[in-house]
Amino acid sequence: MGKHLLLPLVILSSLLGFLQALQCFHCDRVNASGVCVSGERFCETTGSQQCFVKKVYEDGIISYGYQGCSSLCVDMMFLNFNVNLDWKCCHHASLCNKF
């Protein structure tokens, strides 16, 4: 009887794995070298949130960035004269938003 319950339990546990919250890197300010200089911690997504990483480039060179969890998350790039903003979202694995 125990063998008959094993397969449904394995299937159920794998399905529930998709519903688990993601752990994301969170940093209020990442410097150009990729080091968090303010607010380093982890956040956990809830509901439809995703991990994100936002990078700010000045004259084509990375200047600083941010990492965290976000409800509004769409991959996008803004271009404005010499300043570019690159926003990437991910939800395929925990800690997927490494700077």
Task: List, for residues 34-85, the tens digit of each pLDDT value.
Answer: 999 999 999 999 999 999 999 999 999 999 999 999 999 999 999 999 999 9
Residue 51 lies in a domain: yes
Strand segments (E) across 5-81: 23-31, 36-38, 41-44, 50-58, 61-70, 76-80
Residue 34 lies in a domain: yes
Range of the domain at 58: 24-99
Task: Look up residue 22 and give its two tokens.
Answer: 């993601």
Rounded to 5 degrees, what are φ and ψ at 11? -65, -45
Nearest to 53 by CA among 93, 86, 82, 84: 86
Residue 10 lies in a domain: no
Residue 55 lies in a domain: yes
Q: What is the CATH number of the domain that holds 28?
A: 2.10.60
Task: Look up residue 4 and give its two tokens.
Answer: 């008959």
Residue 13 lies in a domain: no
- Global pTM value: 0.76
Residue length, the chain?
A: 99
Kindly indicate the confidence band of residue 8, based on its pLDDT and cuts at 50, 70 and 90: low
DSSP string, 47-64: TT-EEEEEEEEETTEEEE
